[in-house]
Amino acid sequence: MCDANAPQQEQEESIMQGPSQAPTKAGVSTVGLGEREAKFIEACYNADVESIESMMEEDFVASVTDVNGRSALHFCAGNGLPTLCTKLMDRGATMDKQDVLGFTPLHMATGYVKLDTVKLLVERGADANIASFDGKLAVEIAEDMFEKTPAKQFFRANPTHEKLKEMVDVLDEATEVEEEDEEEEGLEEENGVTRSVNEFGDITEETENAKFVVRVKPRGEASSGNGIERRAVKVDDVKVTIKIKEAEKKA
């Protein structure tokens, strides 16, 4: 999908493991599109910056998608083209549009390890709490890849590992901000400890000095009835985040 020589393009290599881990590398499909729409989508898929900008100057509609539901923003995000992503969003491209697998442009940028584009989408308000249809949040895709990427490469620090670590932090913070805005059902406070459970079943406990978050995957699945399949939780499905608050400096 990525053209290593494309201008403005981030140069990280993708390490995606398939649709269960991250967006696929499946080619673009323009069946049913008009000639102009097909050329535009293909240009976005191939990171043909000159053609994309030329067609956008002609006030081309940014909402056109291929048969898999992937928009120009999906492909530009996956190719790591933040400048073009900005132009598309300014022209009305939908940040949170999901394709046939439920992937958003944020999923695409995450799966292809495009850190600058991930930061841009988060800053522009992309919803980090949207899960793909198999239950993957963007932060979970980043976490899966981070855990599978060696910290060192040829006895040196692996830049992809470091980039994934920063990406996890960015997405985790974006996800937590949204979660903290949810209605605090089940909020309890006892002996200086605040405890809340959000709609995903995540448990947050906060004291004066630290914050503990217990996150259970897969998210958003009910544990009983209502036509939703029950799924057992494995040890690997549980993530515990501990953040120590910085002590106030003494005068």
Residues 8-39 pLDDT 10s: 455 444 333 333 333 444 567 777 888 888 89
Under the banding of pLDDT at 50, 70 and 90, the label for residue 141 is: very high
Q: What is the pLDDT of residue 67?
A: 87
Q: What long-range pairs does 33-40 form, CB within 8 A, spacing at least 24?
A: 33/64, 33/66, 33/67, 36/60, 37/64, 40/64, 40/72
State the distance between the two ends of the chain, measured CA to CA, in whole angstroms.
56
Domains of the chain: 35-180 (1.25.40.20), 188-244 (no CATH)
Q: Coil, helix or strand for 59?
A: coil
Q: Is pLDDT at 192 greater than 80 in this prediction?
A: no
CA angle, residues 39, 41, 42, in degrees to nearest 5: 65
Cα separation, 240 vs 242, in Å, equals 7
The pTM of the whole model exceeds 0.85: no
Q: What is the pLDDT of residues 93-137, one digit of tens each?
A: 999 999 999 999 999 999 999 999 999 999 999 999 999 998 899
Q: Is pLDDT at 6 greater than 50 in this prediction?
A: no
DSSP 74-136: HHHHHTT-HHHHHHHHHTT--TT---TT---HHHHHHHTT-HHHHHHHHHTT--TTPPPTTS-
Task: Scan for tokens 């081309």, then name that residue.
Answer: 60
DSSP assignment letter at 198? -
Neighbours of 229 (CB within 10 A): 6
Task: Out of 157-161, 180-184, 211-215, give the one with best mean pLDDT.
Answer: 157-161
The token pair at 5 is 């020589």
Q: What is the pLDDT of residues 196-234, one digit of tens each?
A: 666 556 677 777 667 666 666 554 443 333 343 444 445
